[in-house]
Structure formats: structure tokens, C-alpha cells
Amino acid sequence: MRSAMSTPIPTETLRQSVKPVVSAVNGLCQGGGLQIALCSDMTVVSDRATFRVPELLCGIADTYYSQMLARLIGPVRTRDLMFTGRTLTAHEAHEWGMVARVAPDRACGSQPSQVEPRHLPRFFDRIGMQASYSSPEALEGFRAFKERRSPAWMHPDLQLDGRL
């Protein structure tokens, strides 16, 4: 049996790819999908695409977002997304530098060998993220998600009807 630390993490595989990784988004992009888009060398989206970071609304401290988003969009915008869980449109994501372009057509006109892959630092705090899974906030967040309501610890003005 392999330990959790020896299991390859998909985002690490993308970040270490010797070939450019291109992502296409057409719809809601959050969670693992957003992490893939953030690790890609180029992300092209349709004008219907939306982006959000909902983990903190469920009580999970996902440190991967904070380190990746801060590099792409800066710390102020990163805190905005992570603390509010609000949804960005495709055009806002493009203006903020999260995606390369908003286009329904072909994404890449160059051959992969013509593009240098970017090399990002390979650090994020998996231990802190895993520790947050069993916190009281996370347990209430998961329970609230299952019951299709906002967590009790969320400010009343920010609570939503139905699933987050």
C-alpha cells in the first residue's frame, strides 16, 4: 500500500510537464478544475466560463490557491476571491490575468516545441490543508453543503439559499 505522500498529485504532474499544458474552460471552474487552470501554461475560456474559490466557504484552508493566485493576480485580489467565494466572469478573470484569453475558437497556433514551459516553485503546504479537513469549521462546512445551506459560522449577510 502506498502512502498519501507517494501518490502523485495531478497538479504537480502538470507543473513538471516538459511540454506546454493548455486548458480550455467552458462553464464553472472551481476546485480541482481551477487548480488545473492555474497550473496550465495557457488557459483559454469561453465567455460562459466562471471562476470561484469556494473551499473556505466549506471551512477548508486550501493553501494551494493562496500561493498560485497571489503570483497570477496579486495578494489583494487573491484575498478577495478566497475570503468572499464570489464568482468571477470570464472577462474579469482575463482582466485579472488568470486566463490568457476569452475565445470560442482555436486556442494555440504554435507548435509545442516552439513554447518554453514555465517553471513554478513546487511548494505548497499539504499538511496544513489536510489538518484543516477535521477542523470544526470544515465539519460544519461539509454538513452545510450536504444539507444545502450556508455554514452556521458564515455572516448572515453572506449566507445563500440552497447549495453554495
Query: Which residue would you say has higher pLDDT here, 63 or 38?
Result: 38
Question: For the chain, what is the domain count?
Answer: 1
Longest dimension (CA), the chain: 52
The reply to whether 12 falls in a domain is: no
Catalytic residues: 55
Give the tens place of pLDDT for each residue, 78-122: 989 988 888 999 999 999 999 999 986 454 333 333 333 443 333
Q: Domain range for residue 95?
A: 21-104+125-158
CATH number, position 64: 3.90.226.10
Give the tens place of pLDDT for each residue, 49-75: 999 988 877 778 777 778 889 999 999
CA-to-CA distance for 44 and 138, rounded, in angstroms? 32
Cell of 60: 477548508
- Reported pTM: 0.61
